[in-house]
């Protein structure tokens, strides 16, 4: 049996790898990048490791599409609020700016 600390370390590494692969695969196969994101989320939930903040803004929480400005994402800034609009499903996410 592997200890919890080692499991969490391995899970973090795999999440990083899956998000990097999702970035690479998006140009040629958007559905494959979506699958990588879903796998990363499953690992995160199973081992109870949070997805890093850098990666949380890279995918839509509703349809799990990899978000790339201009292609699947529209960004706007309105009154110190960053607005992300997913072009795939129409979900709007708002992030406050400092």
Q: DSSP string of 62-97? A: TT-PBP-BTTTEEEEE-SSEEEEEETTT--EEEEE-
Average pLDDT, the chain: 95
- Assess whether pLDDT exceeds 90 at residue 98: no
Average pLDDT over residues 14-18: 97
Whole-number pLDDT of residue 19: 97
84 within 8 A of 75, measured Cβ to Cβ: yes
Distance CA 83, CA 58 (A): 13
* pTM of the complete model: 0.90
Question: How does pLDDT run across 26-66, given as a tens digit for each residue?
Answer: 999 999 999 999 999 999 999 999 999 999 999 999 999 99
């Amino acid at each position: 049996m592997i200890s919890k600390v080692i499991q969490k370390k391995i899970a973090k590494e795999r999440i990083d790898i899956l998000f990097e692969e999702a970035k690479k695969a998006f140009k040629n196969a958007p559905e494959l990048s979506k699958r990588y994101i879903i796998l990363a989320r499953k690992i995160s939930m199973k081992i109870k490791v949070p997805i890093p903040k850098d990666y949380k803004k890279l995918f839509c929480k509703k349809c799990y599409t990899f978000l790339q400005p201009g292609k699947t994402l529209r960004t706007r800034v309105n009154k110190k609020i960053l607005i992300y609009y997913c072009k795939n499903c129409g979900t709007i996410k708002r992030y406050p700016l400092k």
